[in-house]
Structure 1
């Protein structure tokens, strides 16, 4: 599970999201997502969206990771996240799940979903 949490949190970082090489390393070409906004993305649209992001100074806080094996080379990673502004304001609470698949050489993100949720205590 540690490698999946590490890779998931890499995708929370602006610098990684701006690097095409990192995105291609972490996200599978057949990727799909249902964002917490309800908008759906595929690989091309998520790359376009991430490359157009501007730095905000916010950071993603994530916690309570749980990993569930779906198949020998497929893992479901569930967790909670929130956005923390430089001022300390916390917003955008969500429950998230990601499906990671081992390609034979590395783990890549195949599916992601975010669902808004009530505020929770950050640990």
Structure 2
């Protein structure tokens, strides 16, 4: 199988990744439920692991950080699993220092033929230049 991802799917998954950073999505259990697979697991930058239930109960109560993401890459791991990776910078408030990380997500097509995130991990990395154009 070719690992090349179709441009339409790649763009759809970038948009879905970015939706997960939007305040109205992060504060909506229903919106999060639609984007996250029931078997979802996240490994946070500090090594803590979360399942879907924990994310659905935690995210809606959090203050939404300021996020930038860029340099997306994508590939198909199988016919119904895609991998997306990118650089992310975030901070808790406009006065806070940025935290930099490399992010990786696995998206799986469910039985309704919709793509849901099944795995996400953020790994701290050295600071990088934040590009303000949409990459």
Q: In 1, Cα distance between the equivalents of 2:78 and 2:113?
A: 16
Q: Which runs of 5+ in 1 are unaligned?
A: none
Unaligned runs of at least 5 residues, structure 2: 1-9
* Contact residue 81 and residue 108 of structure 2 kept, 8 A: yes
Which of 37, 43, 50 is the equivalent residue of 1:28? 37
Count of aligned positions: 120
1:94: which partner in 2? Answer: 101
CA distance in 2 between counterparts of 1:60 and 1:94 reads 11
1:118 aligns with 2:126: yes
* Residue aligning to 1:16: 25
Other-structure match for 1:63:
70
Superposed, 1:44-55 pairs within 5 Å as: 44-55=53-64
1:54 positional shift: 2.5
Greater strand fraction, Structure 1 or Structure 2: 1
Normalising to structure 2: TM-score of the pair? 0.83
**Segments of 4+ in structure 1 off by > 6 A?**
none
1:3 to 1, 12, 27: 12
Are 2:108 and 1:105 equivalent residues in the alignment?
no
CA contact (8 A) 2:33 2:56 kept: no
